[in-house]
Amino acid sequence: MKFFTRFLIVLAGLLATQQVFSQTNNVGIGTFTPDPSAILELSDSTRGFLPPRLTTAQRSAIVNPAPGLQIFNTTDSLMEFWNGQCWIPFILGSCNDCYFTMTASSTGDTVDHVTNNQVSVTLNISQTNGNPQDILMSVVGSFPQGITYTINPNPQFSSGQVTVTFDVSPLTPAGSYPVVIQGLCGTTTQNEIYTITVTQCYHVSVINSALKFDLGTELYIQHPLAPTSQPICVTCDIASGVFLTSDTNASPAFTTGTAIPSGSVVAITNNGYIIGDGGNGGRAYDPSQSPPLTGAGDNGGDAMHLTIDATVQNNGFIWGGGGGGSGMAFALSYTLPPPVNFVTFGIFLGAGGGGGAGGSVGGTPPTGIIGLSAYANGLPGTPGVLGLGGNGGVLNYPIPINVPSVVITLNPNAIGGDGGNYGYPGTQGAFNLTLSATLIINVPFVGQVSIPVVNNVAIPIPFPPPPPGNAGYAIKRNGFNTTIPDNTYQTSFIKGQVGP
């Protein structure tokens, strides 16, 4: 009797503690009115329902699990149930539905451009449900300029490792950029957030037009405390409407200079105009001059010189100067044939080459010419956005020479080569000369008698025709690397060669 009494007391305490309330067909714990549709209703505001917690191995060791049996899988951190055929997570519908887990080796990394310009994250993928199949990978996010990525392998077949590599250009603005790396298999999606942090480079802003711009010099003007003996990252932004030019074809309009430390990373964004100087037109072949004149047109000036590897983003104009046209002018000496071979004359004849686009001079006659001469100047090349190559001079009118008893007529056709437009070489001119001579004698009782001696005989030029000048480089790499491929360009944005 005492035992039974004690049992009733313990049972009453348990029921009071757990608040178990039974109606006719259902039981409520924590509620007086369990829902009629539920055989058991649990209700509490401070505690939850705790099912059995088993590892995957323990779960799989259950003998003859009943359909609907539920557990919490501590290996996968998932609620699972036995559907009569397999253990599957609550979120799946059948044994063949794909389910996988995905974990990342890192939540983010930093790019400083000098020590690295790419970062990678490794994703460990483990398929835990369904037939082995492809898991498709993707990256979701709003990328700024200059960030690209590769995924390898993609797709990943069932379980394995996937590497996502992000390449970051020095042109990418500083900041932190979160992205979502996503895996998709059937109806299952897994996401990992990864943050790319890009550090600030030393920035050079070019807002005023300049002559023979040197990036290294300007860097230390704008950032006097920047390191001079260790690699750094430098970005340069040339504003819209800015003109960077040169007043000589021997100097580029823009150079990265020699002050930036070796091994640095340089990125240039051009929104303005970088224009090389035009080559002067050839003058004449005259070895007596100092320095000797060869008649060749000068090469056009280069727009940009690299002295370090550089990323170049060109949204503006990079134009090499036009080459100068060749001058076609020579000092000639000629002795007439018998019976007037006592006559020898000398003359300087020809035409100057036109100057190349970018601002240049046309060919003019050399100084110190003594004696008879005839010369047609070449026209200068014009500068600026609308600059053009100048035309070569043209000399094609008869030139009489009077000596005692002989009338000589020279018929020159000297055409100087035209100057090239931006990015184009100059052209080679042409020269030919014919001579006619008539002997005049006095015959008694008759008067003067004209006797033709030669008629339109060709007089050869004494030297090979001089060559025209080449176009200036748009970008002369000088052995360094850039992002614009080597080629000869004639587009609105680049005129001239990009090359070694």
pLDDT in tens, 177-230: 999 999 999 889 999 999 999 999 999 999 999 999 999 999 999 999 999 999
- Is residue 11 scored above 50 in pLDDT? no
- Is residue 328 scored above 80 in pLDDT? yes
**pLDDT tens string 331-356:** 888 888 888 788 888 889 999 999 99
Least confident of 27-31, 55-59, 61-65: 27-31
Nearest to 201, CA basis, from 169, 244, 178: 169
- Is residue 23 scored above 60 in pLDDT? no
Which pLDDT band holds residue 145 (cuts at 50, 70, 90)? Answer: confident
Count of C-beta atoms within a 10 Å radius of residue 202: 19
Mean pLDDT on 420-443:
90
Distance CA 169, CA 201 (A): 11
Percent of the chain with pLDDT over 90: 67
Mean pLDDT on 443-459:
77
Least confident of 9-18, 49-58, 299-308: 9-18
Mean pLDDT on 354-375:
90
Is residue 52 within 8 A of residue 59, CB to CB? The reply is: no
- In degrees and rounded to multiples of 5, residue 11 shows phi and psi of -60, -40
Q: What is the pLDDT of residue 9?
A: 46
Distance CA 181, CA 192 (A): 5
Average predicted confidence (pLDDT) for the chain: 90
Distance CA 308, CA 323 (A): 26
Q: What is the pLDDT of residue 93?
A: 77
**CB environment 345-364: b (16+ within 10 A), e (fewer):** bebbbbbbbbbbbbbbbbbb
Long-range contacts of the stretch 436-441 (C-beta < 8 A, 24+):
436/408, 436/409, 436/411, 437/336, 437/340, 437/343, 437/406, 437/407, 437/408, 437/409, 438/406, 438/407, 439/339, 439/340, 439/405, 439/406, 440/405, 440/406, 440/407, 441/405
- Is residue 480 scored above 70 in pLDDT? yes
- Is residue 97 scored above 90 in pLDDT? no
Is residue 271 within 8 A of residue 236, CB to CB? The reply is: no
Q: What is the pLDDT of residue 454?
A: 82
Token pair listed for 436? 């006619």
Distance CA 274, CA 399 (A): 46
Give the residue extent of every domain in the chain: 2-95, 100-198, 202-321+472-499, 328-458
**Residues contacting 477, CB < 8 A, separation 6+:** 306, 486, 498, 499, 500
**pLDDT tens string 159-174:** 999 999 999 999 999 9
Which pLDDT band holds residue 443 (cuts at 50, 70, 90)? Answer: low
Largest CA distance in the chain: 185
Distance CA 339, CA 145 (A): 83
**Residues contacting 227, CB < 8 A, separation 6+:** 261
Mean pLDDT on 280-300:
90
Which pLDDT band holds residue 267 (cuts at 50, 70, 90)? Answer: very high
Q: What is the pLDDT of residue 311?
A: 95
- Which residue type sits at 24? T
Q: What angle do CA 368, 372, 374 make, to 5 degrees?
A: 90
- Domain 100-198: top CATH class: mainly beta
C-alpha distances out from residue 341 to 20, 162, 398, 437, 482, Å: 143, 94, 22, 11, 66
Least confident of 88-92, 432-436, 472-476: 88-92
pTM: 0.77
Distance CA 215, CA 386 (A): 26
Is residue 425 within 8 A of residue 281, CB to CB? The reply is: no
Distance CA 244, CA 238 (A): 9
Q: What is the pLDDT of residue 446?
A: 65
Bigger pLDDT: 339 or 146? 146
Q: What is the pLDDT of residue 107?
A: 96
Q: What is the pLDDT of residue 20?
A: 55
- Is residue 362 scored above 80 in pLDDT? yes
Residue labelled with tokens 């036009």: 322
Q: CA torsion angle for 224, 226, 227, 228 (degrees, to 10)?
A: -50
Cα separation of the two ends of the chain: 109
Q: What is the pLDDT of residue 3?
A: 41
- Number of helices and strands in the chain (H, E): 3, 40
Percent of the chain with pLDDT over 70: 94
Cα–chain-centroid distance for residue 84? 61
